[in-house]
Amino acid sequence: MSDKPQIGIVYHPNYFIHTNDNHPEKKERLQAILTQLKEEELFVKLQQLAPYPATADEIGTVHTKQHIEHLRGLCERRATYLDPDTYLTPQSYDVALLSAGGALTAMRAVMDNKLKTCYALSRPPGHHAEPNRGMGFCLFNNGAIATRHALEEYNLSRILYLDWDVHHGNGVQKTFYHDPRVLFVSIHQSPAYPGTGHVNETGEGEGKGYTVNIPLPPGCGDRHYAKVFDQIVMPLADKFKPELLMVSAGQDAYHEDPLAGMCISFEGFANMARHAKKIADKYTDGKAVLFLEGGYHLRGLSEAVITILSEFGGWERPINPEPAPNMTPMYDDPDAIIEAVKKASMLLNS
């Protein structure tokens, strides 16, 4: 490898075209991240990669032809919504291809040893999009498409797919529910959108045991997430020994996020990134691909993304010490859920 930074981001100005001023998933999210990177003069520490529009064939390795054609037709007819949560613009189909292409670009940059870590700052996000439908602000499942191509193009057999977006990554789960080559681990708020991700959803057929859901009640904070990493995520990685790490890194567990009720501070995000990097360093020769998903508090999103990049890049940038409120989790006892997840995991008990 050269002296160039070993960490990079993928983005494109056309990611701003898919936007809606009255919706939380708007272009200002990505603009906030890029503005802060610029203000802190951090672009010199990053390789910047441009995405390409993924082809319908590439998308078709995860999504049905019907879904792809339906979305294309809706945009052509200038429809404004795919479902009540998910807006469209006439350009959204093309931007969604570019968003998926960003995830593929990030994955190949890492697999071809051009970078150790690459964060695809793709919009629209992807982890809710299921094989036969988009939903939850997501049109195509960027992370699932990149994962499928990593399996096929690089002949991998063990990918750890970690999803710490505050919402359950139902689309990724569904894509690989029967596939033991992808260990899908999701930490999410429950109850919350989309309502899936229960402890007893553990995979089916050959994939049995390779889906692990950790549904935490609202009000959980850094110490609960730290316990999840120490007692579930790290032991799972030690059992599975991944060849590649993928992360659906949405930052809506941030304590001020308007769409969720978790209490994660920037130190909390740093801790998650530190653990993820530890897994990559131990098992994947450092290879990690991250995908932007949610995160709707603009300053919280940008600060969290930069905190994560800083941990993966080994930058000497102090972690923003802003404290998160110490709330009492509601409805359920997180410690009891962690125990239930450990009990339900075939991999941890093997």
Residues that bind Zn ion (CB under 5 A): 165, 167, 250, 252, 294
Helix, strand, coil % (nearest 5) of the chain?
40, 15, 45
144 vs 60: CA distance, rounded Å: 11
Minimum CB separation from Zn ion for residue 135, in Å? 12
Burial tier of 19 (Cβ tally within 10 Å: 0-12, 13-18, 19+):
buried
Quick one: 6 or 19, whose CB is closer to Zn ion?
19
Catalytic residue among 12, 18, 63, 128: 128
| Helices 28-39 & 298-313 angle (0-180, nearest 10) | 50
Minimum CB separation from Zn ion for residue 262, in Å? 10
297 as an active site residue: the answer is no
Listed in sequence order, the residues at least 6 apart from 297 whose beta carbon sits closer than 8 Å to its beta carbon are 254, 256, 257, 258
Quick one: 7 or 260, whose CB is closer to Zn ion?
260
Q: Which residue is nearest to Zn ion (CB)?
A: 294
Quick one: 127 or 133, whose CB is closer to Zn ion?
127
Q: Which of 41, 14, 28 is nearest to 297 (CA)?
A: 28
Minimum CB separation from Zn ion for residue 167, in Å? 4
Minimum CB separation from Zn ion for residue 272, in Å? 15
β-pairing, 159-163 with 244-249?
A: parallel
Minimum CB separation from Zn ion for residue 128, in Å? 8
Quick one: 242 or 294, whose CB is closer to Zn ion?
294
337 vs 187: CA distance, rounded Å: 11
Q: Which of 249, 4, 237, 244 is nearest to 115 (CA)?
A: 4
264 vs 219: CA distance, rounded Å: 9
Quick one: 116 or 167, whose CB is closer to Zn ion?
167
257 vs 298: CA distance, rounded Å: 9
- Residues classed as catalytic: 128
